[in-house]
Structures are given as C-alpha cells and as structure tokens.
C-alpha cells in the first residue's frame, strides 16, 4: 500500500463509529481485528490502520528536524528512530524490546503497562508463530475508481517464523473460559493466556505488584528500559492541521544499544543480565 493511500484511509477512519474500549492487538495492527474463524476477510469497519517501524530520517526527514535528541540520549548509543502513525485503535500486545527505548507521542496518547524483566517464564516468553495477511482493493477504492470493490484484509497461513519477544498472556481481552477455574486447571494451553492463572503461579505476586501503569501524551517522553515487558494502547488526538481534520495517533520512538543484555527466550535464573562493558563500561 502506498503511503498516500494509507493517509487517505486514515482520514476516512475518523468517520467510523468508535466503540468504547475498541482495541486491536499487535499481531493484527496491519489491519485485521480478529474476526471469527469463519470469516475470511474484513473491511474498513473492522480495521485498525497503523504504520510502524518507519525510519524517521529515511522516510520523513523533515519530521526528524522537529524531534531533536533529548538530554538523556547523550549517555546512550543511538540505534534508530522511527515514526508510528495510526488511527488510535491499535494495541501493542505485551512484549519486550532488547534495546533501550524512548517513546514520545506527537498526537494522541499512549497508555502503557510495564512489567519488570526478571520473571519471563511467568509471562510465557517463547517462540510464538507469526501469521500473514493479504489485502485487496485498497488503492482502487481510495482512488474512487469505477467498479472498485470494498477494501479487505484476509488471514493467511501461519509462517514458520516466530516472535521471541512476545508474551502469550492477554491482559485486555482474555478468553471467557479464563473465568472457569476448572477449565483453566485442566487445560495448559488455556492457562497460558489467562492473566488470572499467571498471577496465581508461584512467584507471580511480586511480579504483578511491581507493574507500572501510566499515560503519556504530546510534550512527554517515556523511557522504557531494555527487556522490560510493556503493552501499549494508542489513543487518538488532534493534529496541528486545524479544526475538521481527523484525529490520529502519531509518535516518535528511538532505540538505543542495551546497557544490559541476556539470552532469550530463557528463564531469568538461567540467563542473568550482563552489563555491556564494551559500550558503556561502568558509566551508568
């Protein structure tokens, strides 16, 4: 999809009714909002529009001039800076990044839940297979051409590639069966995604008690240490374009070489953190 097409659809997204608590998971942020398995494709009504991991200096260099380095960055080794643009419906599911992170909203808000990195086995760290999406009709429908069908996104097959930085725990919309203690106890697969089961596991009390929840908006930045688990819910906000323009979610993030590292996926007690002395020595 061309960037111009995406921005056209982003403008149309503001015309859609926004259900209270409407959220879309990170695995579906390209546009699929978890329809029933019987549905092959969905249209714009169920889509969450989101561009992620877009290099600031490569694709929008003019914006890079409006995002000067913060003071904290002088002590860190910069790796990349990116822009994230969406309609404010996207939910970045629970995951960690192996780099130090700095999140700075420009329009809209980010609600963040943070969990410390020392009990990864309680969060189901491991190899989670990735899926693919196929799309059709977006460019034609945006151009308003005759006979252009409604745009759609469809589930593809699971790939052999896996994500090793995501948690299987669903903090926001766990399966309804999670409320059935008997079912959870008898089904290891169900227990894996139920926050209640994870919270009741040995050693989990300290992990959940130490979580941090906050909201950041324009003019604020949040430092997210490497390997800390975090879930990020985007919220829409006004742009600087003026009245009548669609509300969007727009943020800039930077990643920096991690000060401490460990192997993953791996239980914390087996793979302890080690200071990157080559990059930072004992300066931190």
One DSSP character per residue, the chain reads --HHHHHHHHHHHTTS---TT--B-GGGTTT-----TT--EE-GGG---EEEEEEHHHH-HHHHTTSPPPGGGGGS-EEEEEEEEE-S-BEEEEE--SSEEEEEEEESEEEEEEE-SS-GGGGT-S-EEEEEEEEESHHHHHHT-TTPPPPEEEEEEEEEEEESSB-S--SSS--GGGG-HHHHHH-HHHHHH-HHHHHTSTTHHHHHHT-EEEEE-TT--EEE-TT-EEEEEEE-B--TT-TTSPPBEEEEEEEE--SEE--SSS-TTTS--EE-HHHHTT--
Q: What is the pLDDT of residue 74?
A: 85
Q: What mean pLDDT is predicted for residues 260-284? A: 81
Q: What is the pLDDT of residue 120?
A: 81
Q: What is the pLDDT of residue 109?
A: 94
Q: What is the pTM of this model?
A: 0.78
3-163+212-280 has which fold? Jelly Rolls (2.60.120)
Q: What is the pLDDT of residues 13-30, one digit of tens each?
A: 655 555 444 443 333 333
Mean pLDDT, rounded, of the chain: 76
Q: What mean pLDDT is predicted for residues 70-98? A: 89
Q: What is the pLDDT of residue 234?
A: 92
Q: What is the pLDDT of residue 34?
A: 35
């Amino acid at each position: 999809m061309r960037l111009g097409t995406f921005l056209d659809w982003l403008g149309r997204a503001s015309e859609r009714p926004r259900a209270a608590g409407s959220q879309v998971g990170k695995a579906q942020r390209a546009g699929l909002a978890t329809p029933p398995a019987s549905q092959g494709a969905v249209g714009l009504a169920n889509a969450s529009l989101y561009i992620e991991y877009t290099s600031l200096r490569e694709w929008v260099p003019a914006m890079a001039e409006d995002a000067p380095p913060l003071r904290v960055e002088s002590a860190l080794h910069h790796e990349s800076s990116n822009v994230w643009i969406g309609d404010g419906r996207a939910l970045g599911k629970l995951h960690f990044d192996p780099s130090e992170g700095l999140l700075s909203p420009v329009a809209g808000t980010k609600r963040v839940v943070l969990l410390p990195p020392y009990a990864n086995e309680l969060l189901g760290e491991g190899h989670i297979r990735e899926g693919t999406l196929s799309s059709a009709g977006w460019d034609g429908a945006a151009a308003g051409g005759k006979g252009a069908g409604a745009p759609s996104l469809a589930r593809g097959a699971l790939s052999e590639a896996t994500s090793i930085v995501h948690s299987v725990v669903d903090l926001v919309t766990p399966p309804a069966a999670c409320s059935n203690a008997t079912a959870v106890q008898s089904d290891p697969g169900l227990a894996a995604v139920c926050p209640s089961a994870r919270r009741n596991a040995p050693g989990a009390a300290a992990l959940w008690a130490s979580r941090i929840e906050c909201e950041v908006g324009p003019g604020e930045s949040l430092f997210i240490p490497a390997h800390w688990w975090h879930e990020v819910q985007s919220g829409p906000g006004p742009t600087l374009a003026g009245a009548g323009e669609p509300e969007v979610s727009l943020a800039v993030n930077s990643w920096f070489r991690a000060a401490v590292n460990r192997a993953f996926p791996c239980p914390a007690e087996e793979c302890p953190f080690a200071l990157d002395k080559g990059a930072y020595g004992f300066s931190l």
